[in-house]
Chain A
Amino acid sequence: MAAPPGPVPDALPLRPAPAGPVARRRTERGRLVKSAAGLGLILALWQASVPLVGLSDYFYPSPATVARAFGELITKGILPVYVSDSLLRYLGSVVVGGVLGLLLGLAVGLHRGLARLLAPFVNFLYAIVEGAWVPLFVVWWGYGIKVIVVLLVYIIFFPMFHNTMVGVRTVPQVYVNAVRALGARPWQVVAEVILPAALPNIITGFRVGAGFAFRGLIFAEMLAAKTGVGYLIYEGVSMQNTARTIVGMICMGAMWLFIDNLYLKPFERATIERWGVVVVPEDGH
């Protein structure tokens, strides 16, 4: 079985899934209960370990302290602003970078010559870890939002570009020929055949890029921002309020789970269900 280039897919259960909506709802509720139990277990272990570790709130805050910090950040109106600032930066950059990657990947994918020309160069750029670009961006634009946006656009561009290019290039020629034989014009071929066929790859590329971009957002905010969840994580420590740092970390995880489970995964599932499995390219990426 070919392994997809992206993150490890969700595990298939060892027991075959029970059929029928009622049974399905029952397993979903069971899974929810189990998840809540797991969460409760971790929280209980954390709370219990606080007296055992015996350090101050600065070094090892308890769940209660973190909950209090969370409440404080909400009543002071800080957390909503930070979360929305981060989300806005993230969404804007991801959309811009995604569209750029899509358009360029489409262009390069449709032109074999262009692909051979640009692909190695793009791969080399991709090898430079995105964090390594931050100092150069800071030299060019100073600390601020521009650095964050450019970094995120950069991060999501490459997986999108690469996956779009691969997706377009691996569309079976049979489909293209069939539609052309029926008299389709070039733009119709692209819109009705190539794009839908490449869509599973494109969406997976987007999901991979979105994940890296989210981590990049937090890192860039720690370095170069004055608001945002990443900044909160950093600010908590600099104001000796480690509980706030942990609130930031929890928010970060919650935001990602929200984005991934509400948007990315369903989108991916819908396109794969409709148009087929992600194709792993021959060149081994």
Chain B
Amino acid sequence: MAAIPFLAVALGWLLAPRVLAYPRYLLPPAGDVWARFLQMLADGSLAQHTGGSLLRLAAGFVAGNALAIPLGIAIAMHRGVAEMLRPVLTFLQSIAGIAWIPLAIVWFGIGNGAVVFVIANIVFFSVIYNTVMGVQTIPLVLRRAVLASGGRGVRILTELLLPGALVQIILGLRTSVALGWRALVAAEMLAGASGLGYVTIESVQWYKTDVVLLGMIVIGLLWLLMDRLLFVPLERATVVRWGMLQR
């Protein structure tokens, strides 16, 4: 039953050229898109663009987290500093990512550097915001428990802050990758030289709408796969099991 709308759209797509008259570039028939898919698969360009996009996403994600997690924990450990920086972090998080694309072009030129920077940027600001907030939401009971059992300094770090931050990180993983994925597509459109976003916007000027549609479908499918195959099971195995998140 759930398949009915999909079938309806597919049917409409197949029938539209026969029923209505419109220029081919507005909505290429499904056959065109399929042929384009096979062609791009055969000459390796699909693999190249998809692989490149995923690689850039991974690089930006790793870089952003590597900088944000230590810095976030360091800030969160000092409550005074954390409260001072909270509004600034909120502000920076609201403009993170896409707004930095032109600046990234100035600093890195068009290409991989700019795209990876933008992804790392949005991941960095989201994770640091969540980490600072997350450490502050560690229940007072737990903090007192660690202090009561004689924990100071490093023990607070290892027994309270790191596990607490880890939970926040896993909870925020899905969101930060989602944000990173959005930033990737946007950055590749404005500042990329290859990749799914780039190929999609570039074919607009040649009116190669079949490539545009193919790009959209691949982008949608990739995210669905990442979400259902990676994050939901990951969350189920970790934070749901630990009782931090009910599903």
Contacts and interface: CB of A to CB of B under 8 A. Distances in A.
Chains A and B come from one and the same complex: yes
A280 B246 contact: yes
B2 A116 contact: yes
Given A35-B86, A38-B85, A245-B102, A132 B79 contact: no
Chain A interface helix/strand/loop/mixed: helix
B94 interface: yes
B133 A8 contact: yes
Interface string B75-91: 00001100111111011
Interface residues of B, number: 72
Given A11-B133, A127-B223, A130-B182, A135 B212 contact: yes
B246 to A, nearest CB: 5
Given A37-B84, A38-B85, A39-B88, A253 B220 contact: no
B151 interface: no
Most chain B CB inside 10 Å of its own CB: which residue of A125, A237, A250, A260: A237
B94 A132 contact: no
B167 to A, nearest CB: 10
A19 interface: no
B141 to A, nearest CB: 10
A115 B213 CA distance: 27
A141 B197 CA distance: 19
Contact of B5 (A118, A129, A218, A219): A118
A237 B106 contact: yes
B94 A121 contact: no
A134 to B, nearest CB: 7
Interface string B226-238: 0100001000000
Contacts of A37: 84
Contacts of A230: 99
Contacts of A89: none
B14 interface: no
B19 interface: no
B98 interface: yes
A117 B207 CA distance: 34
Interface string A209-250: 000000100110011000000100110111000100110111
B200 A59 contact: no
Contact of A117 (B2, B103, B137, B220): B2
B185 A132 contact: yes
Interface in B124-172: 129-130, 133-134, 136-138, 140, 143, 171-172
Contact of A138 (B171, B204, B220, B224): B204
B39 interface: no
B224 A124 contact: yes
A182 interface: no
Contacts of A11: 133-134, 136-137
A50 to B, nearest CB: 15
Given A215-B98, A253-B91, A257-B90, A3 B84 contact: no
A8 B167 CA distance: 13
A256 B95 contact: yes
Interface of A: 1-3, 8, 10-14, 31, 34-35, 37-39, 41-42, 58-59, 116-121, 124-125, 127-136, 138-140, 215, 218-219, 222-223, 230, 233-234, 236-238, 242, 245-246, 248-250, 252-254, 256-257, 260, 280, 284
12 contacts: A2-B245, A11-B134, A13-B136, A14-B143, A34-B83, A34-B84, A127-B224, A128-B217, A129-B220, A233-B102, A253-B92, A256-B94
